[in-house]
Amino acid sequence: MDSAALQFIAEFKQSMIDRPDFPMGYDMEIKGATPMLTSKVATLHLDGYSFMGGAHPNSFTTIVSYNLLDKGKALTVSALVADTNAVRPLLEAGYKQAKGMKPEEKITELLYPELPQLPMPANVAVLPEGIIFYYNAYEVAAYAVGPTEIILT
């Protein structure tokens, strides 16, 4: 957190040098929670918000689980899901539902054109009710589409 704060301040100072007439300040906020903590797994959920100029602020979420029985090693999607190909249709159905799409509609209508299908997200973690798959804004679709949370039980 200290290094992130120092980088944020350095970027602001450089911005003030580069654009002394910049009418706004910078803003950053990060909140954390531990939605799951057992003797085996700890899940950390961080929500962040930043505004550094531009058309809109940026929000982001990081969700990660750690294997406490293996020196706190981060659990990757491959450690949590044995067959990602079998999970993909469930993710796509959850994504469509979250975005108000009908099951027969093509998910590629929302995704970036270069994505032929919904990829596995960077944020995958264990929760008491199942596994959470989280897509941040801009990760697979335009900012206007927004972030998407899918929990598979």
Helix spans in the chain (H):
2-18, 77-80, 84-98
List the domain range (segments joined by +) for residue 82: 2-152
**Domain count along the chain:** 1
User: What pLDDT is stored for residue 1 in this prediction?
Assistant: 66
HSE-up of residue 60 (Cα within 13 Å, Cβ side) = 11
Q: Please check the confidence at residue 132 and state whether its pLDDT lies above 70.
A: yes
| Residues facing 46 on adjacent strands | 32, 62
Task: Judge if pTM exceeds 0.85.
Answer: no
Q: Is 45 within 8 Å of 34 (Cβ atoms)?
A: yes
pLDDT digits (tens, 9 = 90+) for 1-22: 677 778 878 887 888 888 888 7
